[in-house]
């Protein structure tokens, strides 16, 4: 054995030292790794944390905690989700933000665009208003939901630039106009929901480019035109909903190519009918709704073989033949509605109205009525089956609630259990109701068909409004065994599902149609809008006639209104109570009066009779004028309420000056509060007013016959004593003039709101001119006669000066009624009155709305600084072009208001103005202007807060003899015109490839002649700077680069002398005051 070398520690020591060395190395290496481990806690990028802080401040979010390194990321229900996988798990980026149902208000924060990794953003069910920020265009979102807000304006073009979107929902907002073709840029879209907006025009063909789309919903819109036939290109489509639009049939054949469909809903198509579409390959169908599409023919038997079908609605069509035998084995169906069709009986046809969950009420044709095997409920007339055979002359139902006695009248209980398919006959066999429809999409198995108010209603007769009967689709009440004759039908409504508070519950819209005896009496009826608020009663009164002993009142949901606010589901018709009574018979009244007269003669002493006669004669003489007016009022047969003077005084606190809100041409206007909580506006007619009683009678006679969302509603009148008053709905935002021109009340209105106001005025005027029963020319359209409700919807007021035109002829008025500055020239100068006078005034109002240019304003008020850059140049030019069309000199060149509506809605493209303007220029010849133009008053009156909505101009007849001469561009008056034109130089900085047209410029100023100020006016008919941009030119160079073709001055011939070389002999006396009356501009961007 060899000896080991000598070692102080031996081998054992060496091994121990080596082992300790390894441990030390491992410890050192582990310590080296411990430092990165300490830094591995992820943290949010500081820049994104700052963005979230800004968003929290804007939205008022106080729950986000920024003390942790990751900020509010994934903190409980913060709604902020982050991805912390960046840089080996050390860096977090915000990727998802879900803030739905938070009731946020204000405008959408642009700050979301500063989160570069944000993929999902949900801001649904809040109270955001305005538009979508332009900054969002740089976002890389995949999913965006803005559903259930108050966003408005045309389709947000910024969304078409977020090409990464796969899911987009802007449902239940206030967007309007056509859908731009640029929507086709969203080539990755898989889910698109545009429902419940005011989109117009045809369905964009760009939808056919969405090859990846699986879910498309465009219900409750104003899309119009024929149903397109491009559906076969959307092969992946699984859900298609087109309910409640203005589209026309027939159903396109390309629907048969959508073999992946499981949810198809199309309803309420207009136009011609169609046969049943071929759906045989859609074997995965779960919900099929083809309601009110004018489908004729028989039901295909293959539908009865679908094992996945849960919901089938083929109601309100023209289907005929027998019900397929295969329907008898459809055990998987939860709900089926084939009511209101024209089936005939057969061996396989059901013999009852309700077979399980199938509704067949009124589903059989008239030919089937003769068959004894058909139950009465299937027929289209209901025989009287009362055991006592007694007929009734009245009907009172407290819909959805227990029995109630109101003013001595008993309203029968209607507490029938709920049910999707229900036919109920009252115990007395004197009335019945049929309910059809299923509350789809609410994910609630136990639907409630009776609504209960969430709060205690403090209103008169509250027992009628605490509960109401609901239906998701159709609700029909039948008055049975009714006596034949005339009836007055009162329908009681109160919206008790939606609220008035500052939550998204207040955004719900319920719209439905009402039919009485098969005649539509209300279309797109909105209870809350009609009543002025939620939880507020409103009664609608109608006259009808019963001939077959059955009174039929139907409430039908035509697919309009919200289906996602406050929750996902159906918000169909709602009714609180129904009453129908025979009107009083004149004969019975006379008999009672005769008997009372005989008793009076016999029972009262002769002396008392003579005394009564004397008093009677005295009263007749005293009230002779009042009696005449009462006869006129009774002759009008008005459908409005009557208020006592006591009620009016109590509501206005005896016409307290603190409640005075305006001064109209008839007299003062006061705010009032009725005992039931209704806020009203009372127009107190002054006994000193020029219009007098005749105009009062005319006004209420006309207004009571006019019903339109954009006309101020008349509640009633008071004619007690010498008091003449009208009671209107109260408009929370007063009038447009105050909103635009009074500093302390001026409203900051975005472009979408301004467009909505213009469109509302146009729709109201179109109704007056073309759609009302009598043709109405308002004659005094101006900003102070446009009232604004709480949502800034425009409503036209003051029909007291309206002129009835019952034929298509024009009217020559000997007395011009209106406001100078708004009046059409042909009306102001010659009393030549047509509806085109209103069109002209509308054009002036549009300019005021767009530019905040009051007729007595200054030059610098032309451009509204409040808008800044928050508007589209194209939209601004569209509105101004519409105003230009409306203010064309020649009345025949002005469009009809229905044309204006289509232009503003975008359903009709704006036609070129060149030909119209050339014709208009011709009308501005020397003799033309003498015939057609007027002169403004010399004094400039300021608009005060106290009288902001007052009529500051009395009606007057203007008779001037104007003369014209060309304006020398070298004269001192040219400086006035130059000042006017300089404002366009400023505006044009942002416009290229443009054409500036100054049309009907009217510069008012006063010329000093001795001690007298003489008002005159400058007219520039047309100045066209074609193809040139002032960019790079100074103002003088620009103005003189292409001098105006013809500028004229109009003055008094007998006062203002003319010299050969000058326009005015005293032109060196510059005007003391000047203002702009009307400016119109057009151009292209």
Task: Establish whether 713 is an annotated binding residue.
Answer: no
User: Which residue stretches of 193-278 are H helix?
Assistant: none
Contact present, 165 and 186 (Cβ < 8 Å): yes
Let me know: does 824 contact 834? Beta carbons within 8 Å. no
Q: Which of 1060, 895, 1056 is nearest to 968 (CA)?
A: 1060
Q: CA-to-CA distance for 356 and 835, rounded, in angstroms? A: 58
Q: Is residue 1026 helix, strand or coil? A: strand
Strand partners for 174: 152
CA atoms within 13 A on the CB side of 1009: 18
Tokens standing for residue 8: 């102080």
Strand duo 409-414 + 404-406: pairing:
antiparallel
Alpha carbon 518 to its chain's center: 27
CA nearest 735: which of 746, 750, 751? Answer: 746
**Closest Cα to residue 673, out of 725, 718, 727, 716?**
727
Q: In b/e form, how buried is each residue of 632-656, taking b as 16+ CB within 10 angstroms?
A: bbeeeebebeebeeebbbebbeebe
CA angle, 564 then 184 then 174, to 5°? 35
969, two tokens: 């561009």
Query: For 39, how many CA atoms within 13 A lie in the half-sphere containing its CB?
Result: 9
* C-alpha–C-alpha distance, residues 871 and 852, integer Å: 15
User: Residue 237: how many CA atoms within 13 Å on its side-chain side?
Assistant: 27
Contact assessment for residue 162 and residue 139, using Cβ atoms and an 8 Å cutoff: yes
Strands (E) in 26-101, as ranges, are 43-44, 80-86, 91-98
Alpha carbons 908 and 906: distance in angstroms, whole number: 5
321: which strand partners?
343
Q: Where are the alpha helices (DSSP H) in 668-820?
A: 692-703, 736-741, 751-766
Residue 138's alpha-carbon distances to 113, 134, 189, 1085, in angstroms, are 7, 9, 17, 23
Label each residue of 551-564 as H, E or C: EEEEEECCCCECCC
Cα distances (Å, whole numbers) of residue 574 to 618, 718, 1066:
53, 32, 72
Both tokens of 361, joined, read 């009420």
Query: Which structure tokens are listed for 367?
Result: 């030919």
Helix (H, G, I), strand (E, B) or coil at 593: helix
Catalytic positions: 780
Residues near 1017 by Cβ (< 8 Å), separated by ≥ 6? 933, 935, 936, 1002, 1003, 1004, 1049, 1050, 1051, 1077
Query: What token pair was written down for 456?
Result: 């205690």
> Can you state the angle between helices 624-636 and 606-622, rounded to 10 degrees?
80
Query: Of 318, 314, 353, 361, whose CA–CA distance to 333 is shortest?
Result: 314
Distinct helix (H) and strand (E) counts, the chain: 18, 60
What is the distance between the alpha carbons of residues 406 and 399, in angstroms, rounded to a whole number? Answer: 14
Q: Are strands 1024-1026 and 1001-1009 parallel, antiparallel or unpaired?
A: unpaired
C-alpha count within 13 angstroms, C-beta hemisphere, residue 542: 20
The 3 state secondary structure assigned to 629-665 is HHHHHHHHCCCCEECCHHHHHHHHCCCCHHHEEEECC
What's the full length of the chain, in residues? Answer: 1085
Binding site as annotated, residues for ATP: 683
């Amino acid at each position: 054995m060899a000896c080991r070398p000598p070692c102080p520690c031996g081998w054992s020591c060496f091994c121990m030292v080596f082992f300790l060395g390894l441990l030390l190395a491992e410890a050192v290496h582990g310590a080296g790794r411990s430092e990165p481990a300490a830094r591995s806690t992820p943290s949010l990028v500081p820049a994104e944390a700052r963005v979230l802080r800004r968003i929290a401040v804007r939205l008022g979010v106080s729950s986000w905690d920024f003390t942790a390194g990751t900020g509010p990321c994934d903190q409980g229900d913060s709604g902020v989700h982050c991805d912390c996988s960046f840089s080996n798990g050390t860096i977090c980026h915000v990727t998802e933000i879900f803030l739905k149902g938070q009731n946020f208000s204000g405008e959408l924060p642009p700050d979301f665009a500063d989160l570069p990794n944000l993929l999902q953003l949900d801001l649904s069910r809040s109270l955001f208003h305005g538009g979508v920020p332009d900054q969002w265009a740089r976002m890389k979102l995949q999913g965006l939901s803005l559903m259930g807000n108050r966003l408005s304006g045309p389709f947000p073009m910024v969304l078409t630039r977020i090409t990464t979107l796969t899911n987009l929902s802007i449902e239940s907002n206030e967007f309007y106009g056509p859908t731009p073709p640029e929507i086709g840029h969203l080539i990755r879209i898989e889910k698109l929901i545009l429902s419940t907006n005011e989109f117009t025009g045809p369905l964009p063909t760009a939808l056919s480019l969405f090859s990846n789309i699986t879910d498309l919903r465009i219900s409750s819109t104003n899309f119009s035109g024929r149903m397109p036939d491009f559906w076969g290109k959307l092969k992946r489509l699984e859900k298609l909903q087109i309910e409640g639009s203005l589209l026309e049939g027939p159903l396109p054949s390309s629907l048969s190519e959508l073999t992946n469909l499981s949810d198809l809903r199309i309803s309420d198509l207009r136009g011609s009918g169609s046969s049943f579409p071929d759906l045989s390959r859609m074997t995965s169908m779960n919900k099929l709704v083809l309601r009110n599409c004018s489908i004729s023919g028989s039901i295909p038997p293959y539908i009865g073989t679908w094992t996945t079908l849960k919901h089938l609605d083929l109601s309100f069509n023209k289907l005929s033949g027998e019900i397929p035998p295969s329907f008898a084995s459809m055990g998987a169906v939860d709900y089926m509605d084939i009511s209101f069709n024209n089936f005939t009986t057969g061996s396989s046809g059901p013999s009852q109205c309700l077979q399980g969950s199938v509704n067949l009420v009124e589903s059989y044709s008239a030919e089937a009525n003769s068959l004894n095997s058909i139950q009465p409920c299937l027929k289209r007339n209901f025989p009287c089956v009362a055991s006592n055979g007694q007929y009734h002359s009245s009907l009172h139902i407290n819909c959805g609630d227990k029995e109630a006695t109101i003013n001595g009248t008993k309203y029968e209980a209607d507490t029938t259990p709920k049910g999707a398919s229900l036919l109920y006959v009252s115990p007395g066999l004197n009335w019945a109701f049929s309910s059809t429809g299923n509350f789809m999409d609410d994910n609630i198995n136990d639907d409630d068909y009776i609504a209960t108010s969430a709060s205690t209603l403090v209103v008169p007769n509250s027992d009628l409004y605490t509960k109401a009967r609901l239906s998701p689709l159709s609700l029909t009440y039948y008055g049975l065994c009714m006596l034949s004759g005339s009836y007055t039908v009162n329908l009681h409504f109160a919206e008790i599902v939606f609220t008035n508070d500052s939550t998204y519950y207040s955004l719900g819209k319920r719209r439905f149609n009402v039919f009485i005896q098969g005649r539509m009496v209300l279309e797109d009826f909105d209870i809350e809008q009609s009543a002025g608020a939620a939880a507020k009663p409103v009664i609608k009164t109608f006259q009808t006639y019963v001939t077959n002993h059955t009174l039929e009142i139907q409430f039908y949901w035509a697919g309009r209104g919200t289906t996602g606010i406050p929750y996902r589901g159906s918000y169909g018709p709602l009714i609180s109570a129904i009453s129908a009574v025979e009107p009083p018979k004149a004969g019975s009244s006379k008999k009672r009066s005769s008997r009372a007269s005989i008793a009076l003669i016999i029972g009262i002493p002769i002396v008392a009779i003579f005394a009564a006669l004397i008093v009677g004669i005295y009263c007749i003489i005293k009230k002779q004028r009042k009696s005449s007016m009462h006869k006129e009022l009774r002759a009008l047969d008005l459908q409005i309420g009557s208020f006592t003077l006591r009620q009016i005084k109590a509501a206005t606190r005896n016409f307290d000056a603190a409640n005075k809100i305006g001064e109209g041409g008839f007299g003062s206007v006061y705010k009032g509060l009725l005992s039931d909580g209704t806020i009203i506006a009372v127009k107190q007619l002054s006994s000193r007013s020029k219009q007098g009683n005749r105009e009062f009678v005319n006004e209420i006679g006309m207004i009571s016959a006019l019903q339109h969302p954009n006309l101020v509603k008349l509640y009633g009148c008071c004619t007690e004593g010498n008091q003449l008053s009208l009671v209107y709905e109260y408009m929370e935002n007063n009038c447009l003039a105050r909103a635009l021109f009074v500093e302390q009340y001026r409203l900051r209105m975005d472009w979408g709101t301004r467009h909505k106001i213009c469109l509302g005025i146009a729709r109201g005027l179109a109704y007056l001119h073309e759609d009302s029963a009598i043709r109405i020319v308002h004659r005094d359209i101006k900003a102070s006669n446009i009232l604004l409700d709480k949502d800034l919807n425009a409503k036209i007021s003051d029909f007291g000066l309206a002129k009835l035109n019952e034929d298509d002829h024009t009217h020559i008025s000997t007395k011009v009624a209106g406001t100078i500055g708004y009046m059409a020239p042909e009306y102001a100068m010659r009393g030549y009155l047509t509806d085109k006078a209103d069109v002209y005034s509308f054009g002036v109002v549009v300019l005021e709305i767009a530019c905040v240019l009051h007729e007595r304003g200054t030059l610098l008020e032309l451009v509204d600084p409040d808008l800044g850059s928050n508007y589209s140049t194209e939209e601004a030019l569209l509105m101004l072009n519409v105003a230009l069309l409306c203010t064309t000199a020649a009345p025949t060149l002005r469009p009809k208001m229905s044309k204006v509506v289509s232009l503003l809605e975008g359903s009709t493209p704006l036609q070129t103005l060149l030909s119209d303007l050339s014709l208009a220029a011709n009308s501005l010849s020397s003799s033309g202007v003498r015939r057609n133009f007027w002169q403004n008053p010399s004094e400039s009156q300021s608009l005060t807060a106290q009288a902001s909505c007052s009529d500051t101009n009395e009606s007057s007849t203007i008779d001037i003899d104007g003369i014209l001469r060309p304006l020398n561009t070298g004269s001192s008056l040219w400086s006035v015109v130059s000042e006017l034109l300089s404002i366009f130089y400023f505006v044009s900085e942002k416009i290229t490839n443009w054409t500036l047209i100054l049309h009907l410029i009217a510069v008012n100023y006063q010329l000093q002649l001795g001690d007298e100020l003489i008002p005159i006016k400058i007219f520039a008919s047309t100045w066209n700077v074609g193809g040139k941009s002032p960019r790079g030119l100074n103002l003088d160079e620009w103005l003189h680069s292409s001098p105006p073709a013809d500028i004229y001055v109009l003055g008094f011939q007998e006062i203002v002398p003319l010299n050969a070389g000058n326009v005015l002999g005293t032109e060196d006396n510059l005007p003391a005051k000047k203002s702009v009356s009307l400016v119109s501009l057009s151009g292209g961007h």
